[in-house]
Structures are given as C-alpha cells and as structure tokens.
Chain A
C-alpha cells in the first residue's frame, strides 16, 4: 500500500516508520524540513535509504500534496499539530483526490465524534487520555 502521512511530529513519524518497516510505500509531508530528523532517529539507515519519501511543503497547498504522491495514495493520514488543518486536508484527500482510506487526528473529542458521523475516520488522543484517566480513578477491586 502507498501511505501518505501529513505531519511528521511524534505520532506521524512513528506511524511512518512502522508502516515502512511493515513493507508499505511511505511518503511524509511536513512544512518543517527539520522534522526529517525524527524519521532518521534511532534507525540504522536514513529514511530515504530505507525507501521512504519526504517532501517539505504546506499541507493546504495542492501542489505539495501532489508532489508527495496523493494521487496514488491508498491511505492518507492527517497528523499535523492542528485539528482544523487535519480536518480540511482529510476532506480534500477524500473528496478531491478520492483516497480510499483517510484517517485523521482530531484532538477535540466533540468534533472527532461529529466528523466521524460524516464519514471521516477520526482518532482523538484526548478522548483516549480522558478514558484512561477516568479508569485510573476507579477504585481498585478489593482482593
């Protein structure tokens, strides 16, 4: 599969590395050239030598998305630091480029829920954190 990941922060770069290790074609787009270092960190070979692709560009620029290979992407992952950027580019990937599987990170649980109802696969780390804190607060079973 060809996987395009927009946003190479902690999450995006870790997902990129594991997808590449699993044998997928992986392309990463980030506006910060330095984010490339995260892709190399802890690896014996550089990201490109391992077969990865890296493009510097802004996700909202159609040209950057095309350069990063959105037209042949099977999976699109929106994992920039901004919810609103993620939601807009995810819809562009889905509606304009017809990418089959679009996964988007949305910190705000309320909008993650609503956009999921609209057909986007949303992941809300905040929601998971809330649930984990809540379960941590539950009383321990008495043994």
Chain B
C-alpha cells in the first residue's frame, strides 16, 4: 500500500514509522522547514518539504497512485482541503483526517471528509468508558452505514432485570448483540435472562440511545457510581 501523510508532527511521524515497519510505502509531507529538516535524517527520501494543500506538492508526492491519504497537520482547514482534493480531484478512495478542534467536526462531515479522528473525542470516549456516568457508552459509530454500537450497564431498577431476551420488546432498529457478565462476554440466546450489573452491547440506528436507556438504565447513572 502507498500512503501519503500530510504533517510530520508527532502523529504523522509515528504513523509513518509504523507503516514503514509494516513494509508499506510512505511519503510524509511537511510544510515547516525546521520540522522537515528534523525528520530528513530518519526518513530520507520518504519525507518531502512542501504544503500538502498545494496541488503540485501532492502531485510530486505521487498522489495519483496513492491508496491512502492521511492528513494530520495541526490545522483543520489544511486537513480538510488536503483530503478534499485527494478524494475529489485525484480520486483517492481512502482518506483519514485529524480533527484538532472538535468543534470543527461538523465541517469535516459537511464536506464529506470521513473518517475524521479527534483525539479529544477519543479521550472523552475513553473517559466515558471508564466512568459510565450516564450508563451509556458509544463504542463505535459507523456513520456511513448509519449504525452505532453502544454499551449500557443494567441498573437494578431497570424494567428488563429478570426478563428473558425474547420477552423484551426493544424499539425497531435495535438489537442486543452481546452481554458482558462478570469477566466474560457471550452472545445472548432468546432465553438469556438479563441481570442487574450486566453490560449489554447493542447495535442501533442513530437517535435511539435515549429510548434504549429507559430499558436498561432508566435513571441514568448505575447504582455503583
């Protein structure tokens, strides 16, 4: 695979190292002279000096044959534009963009730049995972497929405690895919009985979170918290 990475900061540089160690071909593009020179010794011909939002710079890096373009500079506008021209002008199938300011996430979405990864959002998600304040954790959002996977801790006062899966009438567009109990997880059968303290994983259509929460954690925070 041939990957072009815009931005040779901490993220870009380490991504490049990983991809090269997995025997992929990589070109790093860096627009700061100082940062470029700092990386030249290590990456040699695999790092180029230039502004990755400029067309000739992308062409010099061989964007026409790139399988993947990753824009991880510290500037959201730059990341948006690099990915936009990669996709729309050079017809690169796969782009990945870094979102520096989570408030700009909407702009990435509006201009069709997906996936867009924000470190702040990732860390927030981890915090949610460690501290399930609202009982609900987003595990994965498949935006193009319009599906998400969530995890919910079943609170003792939930109406589903003691119910068999087959007797729980969940809203259309939701499905229990796994139950974590104690230290292990299993795929539930119709006669699996939900217990307080279970963690249930569900796949849902977006927007059903609140409805689902009333089934498993009606008062938000689980008792343990």
Contacts and interface: CB of A to CB of B under 8 A. Distances in A.
Given A110-B54, A111-B54, A111-B55, A88 B81 contact: yes
Given A85-B77, A114-B55, A114-B89, A61 B110 contact: no
Interface string B75-106: 11110110001001100000000000101101
Nearest to A110: B55
Interface of B: 53-56, 75-78, 80-81, 85, 88-89, 101, 103-104, 106-107, 110-111
B53 A84 contact: yes
B55 A84 contact: no
B16 to A, nearest CB: 23
Contact of A95 (B54, B55, B110): B110
A54 B89 CA distance: 36
Interface string A99-122: 000000000101100100010000
Contacts of A95: 110-111
Interface in A50-74: 60-62
A137 B6 CA distance: 38
B55 A87 contact: no
A114 B85 contact: yes
A122 B74 CA distance: 26
4 tightest A-B CB contacts, nearest first: A84-B77, A88-B77, A110-B55, A85-B77
A108 B107 contact: no
A87 B79 CA distance: 12
A96 B110 contact: yes
- Name the interface size band of chain A: 10 to 19
Contacts of A91: 110-111
Contacts of B56: 110
19 contacts: A60-B76, A60-B101, A60-B104, A61-B103, A62-B103, A62-B106, A83-B53, A84-B75, A84-B77, A85-B77, A87-B81, A88-B80, A91-B111, A110-B55, A111-B54, A111-B55, A111-B85, A114-B85, A118-B88
Nearest to B78: A84
Nearest to B108: A88
A103 B89 CA distance: 21
Contacts of A61: 103
Interface string A27-40: 00000000000000
Contacts of B101: 60
Given A92-B107, A95-B111, A110-B55, 16 more contacts: A60-B107, A61-B103, A84-B53, A84-B75, A87-B77, A88-B107, A88-B111, A91-B110, A92-B110, A95-B110, A96-B110, A110-B54, A110-B56, A111-B53, A111-B55, A111-B81
A142 B104 CA distance: 58
A110 B55 CA distance: 7
A83 B106 CA distance: 20
A80 to B, nearest CB: 10
A129 B88 CA distance: 28
A99 B79 CA distance: 24
A83 B75 CA distance: 13
A125 interface: no
A95 B56 CA distance: 27
Contacts of A60: 76-77, 101, 104, 107
A34 to B, nearest CB: 23
